[in-house]
Amino acid sequence: MSPDFPWLTTLIAWPVLGALLLWCAPRALRPHARVIALGVALVELVLGVLALTAFDAADAGTVQLVETHRWIPAIGASYAVGVDGVGLALILMSVLLVPLVVLAAWREQGSATGSSDALRRYLALAIVLEAFIVAVFAARDVFLFYVLFEAMLIPVYFMIGGFGGAGRRYAAVKFLLFSLAGGLIMLVGVIALYLQGPGGPDGFLTANLVGADLAPTTEKWLFLAFFVAFAIKAPMFPVHTWLPDAAEQAPAGTSTLLVGILDKVGTFGMLTLCLPLFPNASRWAAPVVIVLAVVSILYGALLAIGQKDLMRLIAYTSVSHFGFIVLGIFAFTSTSVAGSSFYMVNHGLSTGALFLVAGFLVARRGSQQIADFGGLQRVVPVIAGLFLVAGLSALSLPGLSTFVSEFMVIVGTFERHTAAAVVATLGVVLAAIYVLWTYQRIFTGPPRDELADLPDARPTERWAVAPLIAAMLVLGFVPGPALDLVRPPAGVTLEQVGVDDVPALVTEGSDQ
DSSP string, 263-280: THHHHHHIIIIIHHHSHH
Are 267 and 325 spatial neighbours (Cβ–Cβ below 8 Å)?
A: yes
Domain-located, residue 77: no
Distance CA 171, CA 243 (A): 9
Q: Which domain holds residue 448?
A: 283-507
Distance CA 430, CA 301 (A): 6
Residue 125, SS3?
A: helix
Instruction: Pick the closest to residue 89 from 452, 453, 487 (CA basis).
Output: 487
The CA-atom distances, in angstroms, between 2 and each of 5, 6, 56, 92, 145 are 6, 9, 11, 18, 26
Domain-located, residue 418: yes
Domain-located, residue 465: yes
List helix spans (H) across 24-141: 33-54, 85-104, 108-113, 116-138
Residue 139, SS3?
A: strand
Distance CA 408, CA 346 (A): 13
For residue 287, the tally of other CB atoms under 10 A from its CB is 12
Domain-located, residue 26: no
Distance CA 363, CA 461 (A): 12
C-alpha distance across the termini of the chain, in Å: 43
Distance CA 139, CA 68 (A): 10
Domain-located, residue 107: no
Residue 453, SS3?
A: coil
Distance CA 32, CA 29 (A): 5
The alpha carbon torsion through 308, 180, 354, 257 (nearest 10 deg) reads: 150
State phi, psi for 298 to the nearest 5 degrees.
-75, -40
Domain-located, residue 256: no
Domain-located, residue 153: no
Helix or strand run (H / E) with residue 78:
strand 77-83
Residue type for 325, please?
A: I
Residue 183, SS3?
A: helix
Helix or strand run (H / E) with residue 292:
helix 279-305
State phi, psi for 369 to the nearest 5 degrees.
-75, 125
The pTM for the full model equals 0.92
Domain-located, residue 9: no
pLDDT in tens, the chain (512 residues): 667 789 999 999 999 999 998 888 777 777 778 889 999 999 999 999 999 999 998 898 899 999 999 898 888 899 999 999 999 999 999 999 999 999 887 665 444 434 567 888 889 999 999 999 999 999 999 999 999 999 999 999 999 988 888 888 999 999 999 999 999 999 999 999 988 878 778 888 998 888 888 889 999 999 999 999 999 998 898 988 899 999 988 888 899 999 888 889 999 999 999 999 999 999 999 999 999 999 999 999 999 999 999 999 999 999 999 999 999 999 999 999 999 999 999 999 999 999 999 999 998 888 889 988 888 888 999 999 999 999 999 888 999 999 999 999 999 999 888 999 999 999 999 999 999 999 999 998 888 888 888 888 888 889 999 999 999 999 999 999 999 999 999 999 999 888 877 765 544 343 43
Provide the b/e sequence for 157-169 (b: ≥16 CB within 10 Å).
Answer: bbbbbbbbeeebe
How many structural domains comprise the chain?
1
- Quote the Cα angle for 417-393-311, to 5°: 100
CA atoms 185, 162, 312, 397: torsion sign: negative
Are 359 and 326 spatial neighbours (Cβ–Cβ below 8 Å)?
A: no
Residue 80, SS3?
A: strand
